[in-house]
Chain A
């Protein structure tokens, strides 16, 4: 697992802010460039994965993320130093004023669903199968002719594209970005979302994001208390629901469906497996 994802978003966000400040590009014009810059940065972040894995890799990516935060905070006028950079409003598209909070929300939600659809398509393609094969057994994949090094860095760069678009959207949503937004702590929150929601699933990170961001707001939990709650929730999920909340919900649904099918059969309802003899 990478703990450097916030840093990749930072590349996207700062690219958008600098392009706006120095070249007058708006959010849409900056978006592909933000995505590309974040993807290239992701390629660099992913290089250690060719030599190390597991905890060592997680620590390395976390350190890279922290180094980026320090570099941004000491970047002088170019990065706005510790105070960061301001961005203009998103503006109006097809008569819709996207600066209005509810419209911004819908815009970001639309991008989220597009991203999820893209992730689904990738996961279920031949390319996705190749990536899963590397995750499952790198040595075996290599013996079949899979260039695992290239694919590992490629997968990282692909994730960087998403992070770059996310950074661009976030920068224009907040209209002010600073280095602290893209440090290791934010990456830990992203990892928390994935682990709580369910790694290796499309909906897991979404469920995790809802748990980590919406729930404390809705339940009006104090920010300090919420951190304690996250810690306890993470321990509980790791010990009791290793596949995350989404996987547990899926299994629960299957169990209930099986139980109901069994009851139908007992009640005499049609059951494809039942014999009438």
Chain B
């Protein structure tokens, strides 16, 4: 089981404090949700963990290895995969080529990495995109593009997957399919950590929730407990006058 241990993580942009000393431990055998209002620091947390930003202070350990401030590609190689807030792909390439690139680089991983895919077709079948293998992704419908984002991330053989609002822009049916897909990925041994605004989806998918507010962690625990936490209710619904 892989562990991502974040301690006292602080990230500032000039005078703006995006993360004000966050402590979170994420195990790859759980499905963890990160929620919080806009600007609470959720995406900054992912970006700092994944090497897009260098932390101002604090430590990030992945399986005991200090990854704080390491380049994004090295962190990716260590088995920490991610998706992005915007649906991302390699637009001029076909769906097959998109996942092939991920598989080719994922196959070089060391021990402790996630499931190994024998071919692009196997992975496309797993995510339900086999019918679109030859399509160029720039013309794909948005729902499929979101699903492809997960496929590309899984192709990199992550032991832990950080998903940044993978359900944003999806309709209800597509969201249900996404939940189903992420559950199946988790059954293969991939740890799931997901950011989303859709509290219903998070409650259905996650066993544990972390709530961020203005860069601070204000709650961390089982879903029911967190959603009934007065501090969380105040953040989401506003305090009493």
Contact = CB atoms under 8 A, between A and B. Distances in A.
Interface in B117-174: 152-153, 155-156
Contacts of B88: 137, 139-140
A129 B104 contact: yes
A144 B152 contact: yes
Contacts of A137: 88-91
Interface in A122-177: 126, 129-130, 132-133, 136-137, 139-148
A143 B213 CA distance: 26
Interface string B63-93: 0000000011110110001101000111111
A139 B91 CA distance: 13
Contacts of B82: 143
A132 B106 CA distance: 17
Nearest to A151: B73
B72 A143 contact: yes
Interface of B: 50, 52, 71-74, 76-77, 81-82, 84, 88-93, 97, 100-102, 104-106, 108-109, 152-153, 155-156
Interface residues of A, number: 18
B76 A132 contact: no
Contacts of A143: 50, 72-73, 76, 81-82, 84, 153, 156
Nearest to A129: B101
7 contacts: A132-B93, A136-B89, A140-B89, A140-B90, A143-B153, A144-B106, A146-B101
Given A139-B72, A144-B106, A144-B155, 15 more contacts: A133-B93, A137-B91, A139-B88, A142-B76, A143-B72, A143-B73, A143-B156, A144-B76, A144-B105, A144-B152, A145-B73, A145-B105, A146-B76, A146-B101, A147-B73
A108 to B, nearest CB: 32
B196 to A, nearest CB: 19
A155 to B, nearest CB: 15
Top 4 nearest A-B pairs (CB, nearest first) are A136-B90, A145-B76, A145-B77, A142-B72
Given A129-B97, A140-B152, A145 B90 contact: no
Contacts of B104: 126, 129-130
Contact of B92 (A126, A130, A136): A136
Interface in A193-215: 200
A129 B99 CA distance: 11
Contacts of A144: 73, 76, 81, 101-102, 105-106, 152, 155-156
Given A129-B101, A140-B84, A146 B73 contact: yes
Interface of A: 126, 129-130, 132-133, 136-137, 139-148, 200
A128 B1 CA distance: 35
A46 B55 CA distance: 29
A185 to B, nearest CB: 31
A140 B52 CA distance: 11
A126 B195 CA distance: 33
Nearest to B90: A136
Contacts of B101: 129-130, 133, 141, 144, 146
A139 B101 CA distance: 14
B90 A133 contact: yes
A148 B152 CA distance: 17
A17 B74 CA distance: 43
A88 B76 CA distance: 53
A146 B74 CA distance: 8
Contacts of A132: 90, 92-93, 97
A53 to B, nearest CB: 17
A143 B47 CA distance: 10
Contacts of A142: 71-73, 76
B1 to A, nearest CB: 21
A112 B90 CA distance: 30
A246 to B, nearest CB: 16
Contact of B100 (A129, A139, A145): A129
B166 to A, nearest CB: 14
Contacts of B76: 142-146
Contacts of A147: 71, 73
A145 B108 contact: yes
B78 to A, nearest CB: 8
Contacts of A129: 93, 97, 100-101, 104
A222 B74 CA distance: 56
B133 to A, nearest CB: 15
